[in-house]
Chains A and B, each alone.
Chain A
Amino acid sequence: MPAEFPVYSLAQGGKPPDEPGAISSMDVRKAIPLGLLAAALTMVGVTGCKPPEPSGTTNTSTSTGDSGEPAASARKAPTAAGPTVTGDTIKLGLVASLNGNQKPWGDDSQRGAQMAVDEVNAAGGINGKKVELVIGDSNSNPQDGKTAAEKLVSDGVIALLGEVASGITRPMASVAFDAGIPLVAIGATAVDITQIGSNVFRVCYNDDFQGPVMAKFAFDELKLKNVAIITDNKLPYSQGLSKSFRAKFEALGGTIVDEQFYEQGQSQFTGQITNLKGKNPEGVFLSGYFNEVGPIAKQLRQNGINVPLFGGDGWDSTQLINSGGEAIVGGYFCNHYSSTEERAEVKDFLAKWKSKYGGVPGTTMGALGYDAAKLTLDALARAKGLSAKDLIAAIDETEGFKGVSGTITLKGQNGDPLKDALIVKVTRTGFDFFKSYSPDQLK
Chain B
Amino acid sequence: MQAVLPGLAAVDFWSLPQQVVNGVLLGAIYALIALGYTMVYGILRLINFAHGEVFMLGAYVALFVSWKLGYSPEAMMAGPMPSNILNLVLMLVASMVVCAVVGVVIEFFAYRPMRNQPRIASLITAIGVSLLLQYGGALFLPVSPPPAIREEVNPFPGAFKVWIRQPQEPLKSQFLLAEREFEASQQALREEQYKLRTGETDPTKLLAKQAEVDAALARFSPLDQQVQKASTRVILPHGLVIMLCTSLLLMLLLRWLVMKTKIGRAMRAVSHDFDSAALMGVNVKTVVVVTFLIGSALAGAGAMMYATFQNLTISTFFGVQPGLKAFVAAVLGGIGNVPGAVLGGLLMGVAEQLVSWVGLTAYRDAVAFVILIVVLLVRPGGLLGSSKVEKV
Residues of A within 8 A of B (CB): 17-21, 23-30, 99-101, 103-104, 231, 233, 239, 259-263, 265, 267-268, 270-272, 274-275, 277-280, 282, 291, 294-295, 298-299, 302-304, 306-307, 317, 319, 322-323, 325-326, 429
B144 in complex: contacting residue of A29, A101, A231, A306, CB < 8 Å: A101
**For the complex, what is the distance from the CA of A230 to the CA of B182, rounded to whole Å?**
26
Question: What residue in chain B is nearest A99 (Cβ atoms)?
Answer: B144
Whether a CB of chain A sits under 8 angstroms from the CB of B273 is no
List of B residues within 8 angstroms of A279 by Cβ: 12
Report B346 CB to chain A, min CB distance, Å. Answer: 15
- 30 A-B residue contacts at CB 8 Å? A25-B365, A26-B365, A29-B131, A29-B320, A101-B144, A101-B145, A101-B146, A103-B144, A103-B145, A261-B361, A271-B352, A271-B356, A271-B364, A275-B356, A275-B357, A277-B18, A278-B14, A282-B225, A291-B145, A299-B311, A302-B159, A302-B235, A303-B18, A304-B161, A306-B182, A306-B220, A322-B76, A323-B146, A323-B148, A325-B152
B144 in contact with A100 (CB, 8 Å)? yes
List of B residues within 8 angstroms of A307 by Cβ: 221
B1 in contact with A271 (CB, 8 Å)? no
Question: What residue in chain A is nearest B220 (Cβ atoms)?
Answer: A306
A274 in contact with B310 (CB, 8 Å)? no
Report B51 CB to chain A, min CB distance, Å. Answer: 12
List of B residues within 8 angstroms of A299 by Cβ: 310-311
A294 in contact with B313 (CB, 8 Å)? yes
List of A residues within 8 angstroms of B257 by Cβ: none
A325 in contact with B311 (CB, 8 Å)? yes
Known: A291-B146, A294-B148. A429 touches B77 (CB 8 A): yes
Query: Given known contacts A18-B1, A271-B357, A274-B353, what 10 new A-B pairs fall within 8 Å (CB)?
Result: A24-B362, A28-B324, A29-B127, A271-B22, A272-B356, A275-B12, A291-B313, A302-B235, A323-B313, A429-B77
Could you mark each residue 116-147 of chain B with 1 if its beta carbon is under 8 Å from any beta carbon of chain A, else 0? 00000000000100110000000000001110
Report A181 CB to chain B, min CB distance, Å. Answer: 30
B18 in complex: contacting residue of A268, A274, A326, CB < 8 Å: A274
Report B17 CB to chain A, min CB distance, Å. Answer: 10
A322 in complex: contacting residue of B144, B148, B186, B237, CB < 8 Å: B148
List of B residues within 8 angstroms of A326 by Cβ: 151, 186
**For the complex, what is the distance from the CA of A239 to the CA of B233, rounded to whole Å?**
32
Chain A-chain B contacts (Cβ-Cβ < 8 Å), number: 144
**For the complex, what is the distance from the CA of A291 to the CA of B145, rounded to whole Å?**
8
A239 in complex: contacting residue of B1, B15, B49, B237, CB < 8 Å: B1
Question: What residue in chain B is nearest A23 (Cβ atoms)?
Answer: B366
List of B residues within 8 angstroms of A28 by Cβ: 324
Report A301 CB to chain B, min CB distance, Å. Answer: 9
Known: A275-B357, A278-B15. A24 touches B225 (CB 8 A): no
List of A residues within 8 angstroms of B150 by Cβ: 322, 325
| Chain B interface, DSSP helix/strand/loop, else mixed | helix
List of A residues within 8 angstroms of B228 by Cβ: 277, 280
Report A86 CB to chain B, min CB distance, Å. Answer: 39
Known: A29-B131, A278-B12, A322-B73. A295 touches B311 (CB 8 A): yes
**For the complex, what is the distance from the CA of A145 to the CA of B14, rounded to whole Å?**
47
Report A405 CB to chain B, min CB distance, Å. Answer: 22
List of A residues within 8 angstroms of B324 by Cβ: 27-28
Could you mark each residue 301-315 of chain B with 1 if its beta carbon is under 8 Å from any beta carbon of chain A, else 0? 000000000111100
Known: A29-B320, A298-B151. A306 touches B221 (CB 8 A): yes
Interface residues of B in 99-115 (CB under 8 A from A): none
Known: A20-B4, A291-B146. A323 touches B311 (CB 8 A): yes
B361 in complex: contacting residue of A17, A262, A303, A322, CB < 8 Å: A262
A21 in contact with B235 (CB, 8 Å)? no
Whether a CB of chain A sits under 8 angstroms from the CB of B256 is no
Question: What residue in chain B is nearest A260 (Cβ atoms)?
Answer: B361
List of A residues within 8 angstroms of B352 by Cβ: 271
List of B residues within 8 angstroms of A231 by Cβ: 2
List of B residues within 8 angstroms of A265 by Cβ: 317
B159 in contact with A267 (CB, 8 Å)? no
Report A263 CB to chain B, min CB distance, Å. Answer: 7
B321 in complex: contacting residue of A27, A303, A306, CB < 8 Å: A27
A275 in complex: contacting residue of B145, B224, B233, B359, CB < 8 Å: B359
B362 in contact with A21 (CB, 8 Å)? yes
Question: What residue in chain A is nearest B366 (Cβ atoms)?
Answer: A24
List of B residues within 8 angstroms of A319 by Cβ: 145
A304 in contact with B235 (CB, 8 Å)? yes
Question: What residue in chain A is nearest B356 (Cβ atoms)?
Answer: A271
Whether a CB of chain A sits under 8 angstroms from the CB of B26 is yes
A272 in complex: contacting residue of B221, B237, B361, CB < 8 Å: B361
**For the complex, what is the distance from the CA of A265 to the CA of B228, rounded to whole Å?**
31
List of A residues within 8 angstroms of B247 by Cβ: none
List of B residues within 8 angstroms of A277 by Cβ: 15, 18, 228
**For the complex, what is the distance from the CA of A29 to the CA of B228, rounded to whole Å?**
42
Could you mark each residue 1-20 of chain B with 1 if its beta carbon is under 8 Å from any beta carbon of chain A, else 0? 11010000000101100110
A24 in contact with B364 (CB, 8 Å)? yes
Interface residues of B in 41-63 (CB under 8 A from A): 49
B357 in contact with A19 (CB, 8 Å)? no
**For the complex, what is the distance from the CA of A100 to the CA of B144, rounded to whole Å?**
6
List of B residues within 8 angstroms of A20 by Cβ: 1, 4, 362-363
Interface residues of B in 331-368 (CB under 8 A from A): 352-353, 355-357, 359, 361-366
Question: What residue in chain B is nearest A231 (Cβ atoms)?
Answer: B2
